[in-house]
């Protein structure tokens, strides 16, 4: 029997911003439960909840202070169990964000660890002595600016943190840490959870010799908050020991039925595709993985082809997860605006393109509305990198503003209280209640998802790309005896293609086919019946 996650559509919910039911301005589990019918009606198969565990919220829940407690901002364990039960009634699976590479500095483990160098948890985090001149132990960078090391005067040592100084990295070289983390995961599996989204899955282990990273081989694209691109990050992450831990985690999940793990590979470029392959190879590691390869500014046929082909060649028995937006990047409708005829045109085309890719597909809340980032002023920000480096860095708040349900309701129906991030008119215009008609972006997503599920060729893994020049991305898909040919115009200028055999257009499209000429307007696309050769006219 084919596993449920193989062709699944996973809908990411950012709990703080989905629905607030208690009026405090922050979304909660009861609000998510009330709005789950929206996800089910969309045609998704699973929800991914960004962190809901106890946290001081310095990095919006990605700084966990208790892995086995629900943060009261979101509700209780009973609320969570009720949410899982309701999701299952609607035919939806539930996975949660597990932030296992680091904790909050408020976690009881770290409070004990930093007390002195002799306590039982003294080696549960990555501690190191200063260099003779007092500087950090090596040259590793933090993603949020400055060195990846914070000096602790109590121990007289530095501790490692890849993100905020209040997010110390766990020491996975300590077997007791591994055992403790596995126990926390087992706790939630016993609650009926269907799997995990593993945050920064390639960050668990570090080089135990703390060797310096060498400089990057290519000219880096340096941003104010992130100097990672100036180094080859070979010692601070993606260490070979990671695979051993993933196998332990897989062994745990295999004790339960129908569990899935998807790992976030924190890497850009071709290396990310290679890591995805390594981490999903065989049946003893992750079920699937995704990277930031399609979450950046690159928008070309060659780029998308290299991502999909690179994974297929590097991990022929692995399984990919593709998405265009999430809570860490600018929403793709705005991110790729320079290639768009209009917001609506790029939203429709990218929806179809994503649904035609092989593997599992991810949608970020609001994507199905054609949502764009919210423009914020400094006083409205909450994201640590933006607060530190404004105005050079806009941060991630713009893609995290609340879901919009009713255009004319208070805060677009998200909350009766003051939202933690503002709801502004450009976003409210795209509210769910404004998209009930058959021509809306929301209806488009429903139709395209239904088409994907009804088209056997799109559920398979066989994908062969056609050698066409930019801006045309074209590939053939095959599955259960059906063949289709998919073609996308990634530019704003009309392109005409010659089709080698008589055919017809299937499903949602933005194209015309007259005899052997397929015309794709700017951001046009079509799915053709059968295996067809295409040439640019």
CATH number, residue 429: 3.20.20.80
For position 325, what pLDDT does the model report? Answer: 97
For position 285, what pLDDT does the model report? Answer: 96
Mean pLDDT of the chain: 95
pLDDT band at 487 (very low <50, low <70, confident <90, very high): very high
Structure tokens at 118: 């002799």
In this prediction, residues 524-532 reach a mean pLDDT of: 97
As a residue count, the chain comes to 537
Q: Residue 129: count other Cβ atoms within 10 Å of its Cβ.
A: 10
Q: What span, in angstroms and rounded, lies between the C-alpha atoms of 237 and 249?
A: 18
In this prediction, residues 112-117 reach a mean pLDDT of: 98
Asked if residue 221 and residue 89 are part of one domain, the reply reads yes
> How do beta strands 482-489 and 525-529 pair?
antiparallel
In this prediction, residues 321-349 reach a mean pLDDT of: 97
In this prediction, residues 383-400 reach a mean pLDDT of: 93
Asked if residue 448 and residue 492 are part of one domain, the reply reads no
Cis peptide bond prior to 321, omega within 30° of 0: no
- Residue 525 domain-assigned? yes
pLDDT band at 221 (very low <50, low <70, confident <90, very high): low
Asked if residue 412 and residue 530 are part of one domain, the reply reads no
Structure tokens at 401: 């503003």
What residues are annotated to the active site? 199, 267
Q: How far is CA 356 from CA 33, 258, 346, 475, 524, in A?
A: 30, 25, 15, 9, 14
For position 356, what pLDDT does the model report? Answer: 98
Q: Give the residue from 428, 452, 476 where a domain finishes.
A: 452
- Residue 154 domain-assigned? no
Q: Residue 283: count other Cβ atoms within 10 Å of its Cβ.
A: 9
Q: What span, in angstroms and rounded, lies between the C-alpha atoms of 163 and 199?
A: 12
pLDDT band at 273 (very low <50, low <70, confident <90, very high): confident
Instruction: Decide if pLDDT at 107 tops 90.
Output: yes
Asked if residue 507 and residue 413 are part of one domain, the reply reads no
CATH code of residue 522: 2.60.40.1180
- Residue 248 domain-assigned? yes
Asked if residue 401 and residue 525 are part of one domain, the reply reads no
CA atoms within 13 A on the CB side of 260: 25
Which percentage of the chain shows pLDDT scores above 70? 98
pLDDT band at 315 (very low <50, low <70, confident <90, very high): confident
Structure tokens at 361: 């597909």
Q: Which residues pair with 152 in a beta bridge?
A: 157
Q: What span, in angstroms and rounded, lies between the C-alpha atoms of 220 and 233?
A: 13
Instruction: Decide if pLDDT at 272 tops 90.
Output: no
Q: What span, in angstroms and rounded, lies between the C-alpha atoms of 93 and 86?
A: 10
- Residue 274 domain-assigned? yes
For position 220, what pLDDT does the model report? Answer: 54
- Residue 123 domain-assigned? no
Asked if residue 341 and residue 249 are part of one domain, the reply reads yes
Instruction: Decide if pLDDT at 127 tops 80.
Output: yes
- Residue 431 domain-assigned? yes
**Domain that includes residue 52, residue range:** 9-103+175-452
Q: What span, in angstroms and rounded, lies between the C-alpha atoms of 183 and 487?
A: 47
SS3 string, 301-368, reads HHHHHHHHHHHHHHCCCCCEEECCCCCCCCCHHHHCHHHCCCHHHHHHHHHHHHHHCCCEEEEECCHH
pLDDT band at 318 (very low <50, low <70, confident <90, very high): confident
pLDDT band at 392 (very low <50, low <70, confident <90, very high): confident
Buried b (16+ CB within 10 A) or exposed e, 292-327: bbbbbebbebeebbbbbebbbebbeebbbbbbbbbb
The per-residue pLDDT for range 148-191, each reduced to its tens digit, is: 999 999 999 999 999 999 999 999 999 999 999 999 999 999 99
Question: How many domains, the chain?
Answer: 2
In this prediction, residues 369-395 reach a mean pLDDT of: 94
């Amino acid at each position: 029997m084919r596993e449920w996650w193989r062709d699944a559509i996973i809908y990411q919910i950012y709990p703080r911003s989905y629905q607030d039911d208690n009026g405090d301005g922050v979304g909660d589990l009861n609000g998510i439960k009330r709005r789950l019918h929206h996800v089910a009606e969309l045609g998704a198969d699973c929800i991914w909840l960004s962190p809901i565990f106890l946290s001081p919220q310095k990095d919006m829940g990605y700084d966990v202070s208790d892995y086995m407690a629900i943060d009261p901002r979101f509700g209780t364990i009973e609320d969570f169990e009720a949410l899982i039960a309701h999701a299952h009634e609607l035919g939806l699976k539930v996975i949660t964000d597990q932030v296992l590479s680091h904790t909050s500095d408020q976690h009881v483990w770290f409070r004990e660890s930093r007390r002195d160098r002799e306590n039982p948890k003294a080696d549960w985090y990555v501690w190191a002595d200063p260099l003779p001149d007092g500087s950090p132990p090596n040259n590793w960078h933090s993603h949020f600016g400055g060195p990846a090391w914070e000096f602790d005067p109590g121990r007289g040592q530095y501790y490692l943190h890849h993100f905020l100084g209040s997010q110390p990295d766990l020491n996975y070289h300590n077997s007791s840490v591994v055992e403790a983390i596995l126990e926390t995961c087992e706790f939630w599996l016993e609650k009926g959870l269907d799997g995990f989204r593993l945050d920064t899955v390639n960050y668990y282990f570090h080089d135990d010799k703390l060797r310096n990273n060498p400089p990057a081989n290519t000219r880096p694209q340096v941003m104010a908050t992130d100097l990672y691109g100036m180094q080859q990050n070979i010692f601070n992450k993606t260490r070979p020991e990671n695979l051993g831990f993933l196998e332990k985690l897989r062994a745990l999940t295999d004790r339960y039925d129908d569990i899935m793990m998807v790992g976030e590979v924190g890497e850009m470029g071709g290396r990310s595709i290679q890591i995805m392959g390594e981490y999903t190879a065989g049946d003893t590691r992750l079920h699937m993985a995704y990277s930031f390869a399609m979450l950046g500014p690159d928008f070309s046929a060659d780029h998308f082809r290299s991502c999909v082909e690179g994974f297929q060649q590097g991990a022929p028995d692995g399984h990919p997860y593709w998405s265009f937006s999430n809570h860490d990047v600018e929403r793709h409708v705005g991110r790729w605006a320079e290639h768009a005829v209009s917001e609506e045109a790029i939203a429709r085309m990218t929806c179809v393109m994503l649904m035609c890719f092989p593997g599992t597909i991810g949608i970020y809340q609001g994507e199905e509305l054609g949502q764009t980032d919210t423009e914020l002023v400094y006083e409205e920000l909450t994201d640590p990198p933006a607060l530190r480096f404004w105005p050079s860095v806009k941060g991630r708040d713009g893609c995290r503003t609340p879901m919009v349900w009713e255009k004319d309701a208070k805060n677009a129906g998200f909350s009766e209280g003051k939202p933690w991030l503002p709801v502004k008119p450009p976003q409210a215009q795209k509210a769910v209640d404004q998209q009930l008609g058959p021509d809306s972006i929301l209806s488009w997503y429903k139709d395209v998802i239904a088409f994907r599920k009804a088209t056997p060729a799109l559920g398979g893994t066989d994908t062969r790309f056609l050698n066409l020049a930019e801006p045309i991305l074209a590939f053939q898909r095959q599955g259960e005896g059906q063949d289709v040919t998919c073609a996308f115009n990634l530019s704003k200028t009309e392109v005409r293609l010659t089709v080698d055999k008589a055919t017809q257009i299937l499903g949602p499209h933005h194209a015309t086919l007259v005899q052997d000429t397929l015309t794709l307007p700017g951001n046009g696309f079509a799915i053709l019946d059968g295996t067809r050769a295409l040439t640019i006219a």
